[in-house]
Amino acid sequence: MTEKYSCTIDAPFGTMYAFAENGALIALSFTDEQFSGFAENPDYPVFSALRLWAADYFSGREPKTVPPLRPHGTPFQLEIWDMLLKIPYGKVVTYGELAENCAKNRGIAKMSAQAVGGAVGRNPIAVIIPCHRVIGAGGNLTGYGGGLHLKLKLLELEGVVTSDMYFPVQ
């Protein structure tokens, strides 16, 4: 029988909505996503681990442990999300750099930065899988499901110098 639970986590930038399945986090976001069949259970062990992680992170400290994660996605998305997990706390990379690394890992000449961006944009576990650490070329703060102002706040919380970064022109 599948265990499916949800809870909310208070964070300085708003409420986070967490969903877990069989002992692992499958989704975390600042938007109230609707998942059917999830029972509210704030005492579920993965949510206790998530609260410890969040307490460290939102206090401006790099968390020492990550709660169990099991995001659902395509093999390509999972590959990109694994790459995101390897971006160090307080650092940023560009979509182009991720694409280059992906191509290198696959032993191919080139990978589309847009394809990588599409996978980054579908990351279901915000903040922990740090898609906010990916920026466009030249410091462009393009794309973030929680909004670009939140992306900027998360980067600043991690101590990233953001003075050369900018919001895309609409």
Check pLDDT > 80 for residue 141: yes
Pick the CATH number of 4-57 from 3.40.470.10, 3.30.160.70, 1.20.970.10, 3.40.50.2000: 3.30.160.70
Average pLDDT, the chain: 95
Of 63 and 32, which is predicted with more confidence? 63
Confidence label for 18 from pLDDT (cuts 50, 70 and 90): very high
State mean pLDDT over 82-100: 97
pTM: 0.95
DSSP assignment of 5-74 equals EEEEEEETTEEEEEEEETTEEEEEESS----TTPEE-TTSHHHHHHHHHHHHHTTT---S----B-----
Averaged over 99-124, what is the pLDDT?
A: 96
Active site residues: 131
pLDDT at 32: 80
Instruction: Look at residue 145 and tell me whether its pLDDT is greater than 80.
Output: yes
Ranges of CATH 3.30.160.70 domains, the chain: 4-57
The span from the first CA to the last CA of the chain, in angstroms, equals 48
Instruction: Give the closest residue to 73 by CA, choosing from 122, 130, 126, 18.
Output: 122
Q: What is the pLDDT of residue 36?
A: 87
Which of the four pLDDT bands, split at 50, 70 and 90, describes residue 139? Answer: very high
Average pLDDT over residues 84-104: 97
Q: Per-residue confidence at 33, pLDDT binned at 50, 70, 90?
A: confident
What percentage of the chain carries pLDDT values higher than 70? 99
Give the rounded percent of residues in the chain with a pLDDT score beyond 90: 90
The CATH number of 75-157, from 1.10.600.10, 1.10.10.10, 3.40.50.10420, 3.40.190.150, is: 1.10.10.10
Q: Residue 170 above 80 pLDDT? A: no
pLDDT bin (cut points 50, 70, 90) of residue 82 is very high
According to CATH, where is 1.10.10.10 located in the chain? 75-157
